[in-house]
Amino acid sequence: MTSPATSATGAPDLPEYAPLPAIAKGAALNEHGYHVWQVERNLYAVTDNVYMSAFLTTPDGVVIFDAPPNIGHNIRRAVDEITAANGLTSRVTHLVYSHHHCDHQGASSVFGPDIIRIGHDETRRLLLRDDDPARPAPDVTFADSYTLEVGGERVDLAWHGPNHSPDNIYIHFPDHDTLMFIDVVNAGWIPIYNLNLSDDVIGYTAAPAIALDYPWTHLISGHLGRVATRQDVAMHQQYITDIEASSREALASVNPGPLFGHYGENVWAGVSAYLDAVTEHAAAPVIAKYTGVLGGADIEVYTKTTTFAIMQSIRLDRGPSGPVHP
């Protein structure tokens, strides 16, 4: 990363980054700003190269999986385009929520009040709490698992504990060789800040292995321009494993004594100096390893904030606990 004095956009203070690796490149968008493609049989994905949604076309109606406002009315356009080409009804009958977050569901109300919305019990609780007219709470909810059958197609929904959010579910299409699991793995890119803005570090880091336990070839992971492969999940797991190892090494090697000594009675300054030093030490080799390999890896704040979150989880959740004062 360099900070040039001037740039072609006339924005001199913006940093420049390495060219994106090929695996991070998005899709070619149409004149409306979306790309829709067949994932498997009658399951389709639609992207604007930032967000991703999916839908299933059936003789009895269309089932939508997530309604990101970034894609918004282009979900409707994509559904109309595909159903018209295949002589199927374009009527949307169901919308499945992967989780409650506004950035993935804020176009839900576009589909009106008369469809059936499905989501986890906790999604309903959180949407009632958030009271956002753009995201009506689901009508059909479940605690552990739910099988949706529409027009001869089957979709298995399951909750395996909190991860990115408390309510984030696994959406398996057993007859489409596909899993939809949002906001954990990004195909060809590192997670953004704090493990993709996740609530539960241990749940987040364990989730890819749960995803891999399902049989699938295609992973719809909610962001960017393409569907993920099992290799993408393995690369993500390696990135997280590298941060965990580097964090443990940094916790063992950075000596807090001189830092706390320097600040004396300002103990919070000592804490900051120590944890910032551990974070810097842990993140640096990971940033170096993945720059040019995964998109966003040289945007250092992403790996640093994710490293900070993982390092805190190692200290606070997993231990081992530090020495006890004699």
Kindly state the smallest distance separating residue 137's Cβ from Zn ion, in Å: 17
3-state helix, strand, coil in the chain (%, to 5): 40, 20, 40
Instruction: Out of 183, 200, 232, 298, name the contact with Zn ion by CB under 5 A.
Output: 183
Span of 14-22, 82-90, 175-183, 318-326 interacting with Zn ion by CB under 5 A: 175-183
Nearer CB in complex with Zn ion: 57/194? 194
Distance CA 9, CA 175 (A): 48
Burial tier of 102 (Cβ tally within 10 Å: 0-12, 13-18, 19+)? middle
Selected binder of Zn ion within 35, 101, 236, 281 (CB under 5 A): 101
Cα separation values, 221 from 46, 54, 56, 183, 232, Å: 12, 10, 16, 6, 11
Q: Is 122 in the site for Zn ion (CB under 5 A)?
A: no
Nearer to Zn ion by Cβ, of 181 and 308: the residue is 181
Task: Return the range that interacts with Zn ion (CB under 5 A); candidates 48-56, 181-189, 201-209, 299-307.
Answer: 181-189
Q: Which is nearer to Zn ion, 162 or 285 (CB)?
A: 162
Q: How far is the CB of 132 from Zn ion (least distance, A)?
A: 14
Select the residue whose beta carbon is closest to Zn ion and give its number: 101
**Could you tell me the two tokens for 70?**
């970034």
Find the shortest distance in angstroms from Cβ 249 to Zn ion.
Answer: 30
The span of 45-53, 78-86, 95-103, 198-206 binding Zn ion (CB under 5 A) equals: 95-103
* DSSP 8-state code for residue 174: T
Minimal distance in Å, beta carbon 194 to Zn ion? 12
- Name every residue whose Cβ is closer than 8 Å to that of residue 120 and which is 6 or more positions away in sequence: 97, 99, 138, 141, 142, 143, 157, 159, 167, 169
Nearest Cα residue to 219 out of 156, 177, 256: 177
Please tell me the distance from the alpha carbon of residue 274 to that of residue 260, in angstroms, as a whole number.
8
Closer Cβ to Zn ion, 61 or 136, answer by number: 136
Smallest separation, CB 106 to Zn ion (Å): 11
Provide the token pair at 187.
């195909």
Q: Which positions touch Zn ion (CB under 5 A)?
A: 101, 183
